Every structure is written in C-alpha cells, then in structure tokens.
Amino acid sequence: MLSHHDRTELAKIERSLELSDPDLATALREGRCRKPRALRTALLVALDIAAVTLLVVGLVLPDPGVTLCGIIAFTGTVWTHVAGHRL
C-alpha cells in the first residue's frame, strides 16, 4: 500500500500528464496503446508502391498469375487505407 505522500505525488503526476498530453492520459486510463503514426504511414506507402509495381509488372508480362497477385495486393492496400481511417 502506498503512503499518503506517495499517493499525493502520483496525483500530481497524473494532473500534470492530463494537462500536458490528454490523449496519452486517456489511453493509459483506458488501457489501450497509441499507434505510432509515422511508422504505420511509412509501411503503408511501401506496401502501396510494392502493390502498384506488382500490378504494372503483371500487366506488362503475359503472366496472369502476376497480374492476379498485383490485383489482390492492390485490393489489400486499399482495404488497409480505408480501415486505417476508421481507427
């Protein structure tokens, strides 16, 4: 069990966190993690580039399997972008 002094100090830290970063305080209170946006955005851009490249290569080559993979990859990236905006 915490002492009165420790509880007081923790309350001060909590109030300071509420004022400085309310989103983080809410996330900590609710037990959910904030997602790193920069890493997620970089990963989505890399997947977009890979999917478009695969689709273009599939259209240039006479191989329907590569084209199908490009279409599936492109569909997946579009779905990921749409799902990401809802979070």
Q: Which of 15-19, 31-35, 82-86 has the highest mean pLDDT?
A: 15-19
User: Which range, of 11-15, 27-31, 71-75, averages the lowest pLDDT?
Assistant: 27-31
Indicate the domain borders of the chain: 1-34, 35-87
The answer to whether residues 15 and 37 touch, using CB atoms and an 8 Å cutoff, is no
d(CA 34, CA 38): 12
pTM of the entire structure?
0.53
Burial degree of 51 (CB within 10 A; 0-12, 13-18, 19+):
buried
d(CA 4, CA 67): 67
Inform me whether the pLDDT recorded for 85 exceeds 70.
no
- The pLDDT score that the predictor gives to residue 53 is 92
Tens-digit pLDDT profile for residues 45-62: 898 999 999 888 988 988
Inform me whether the pLDDT recorded for 42 exceeds 80.
yes
Task: List the one residue out of 47, 46, 54, 42 whose CA is nearest residue 77.
Answer: 47
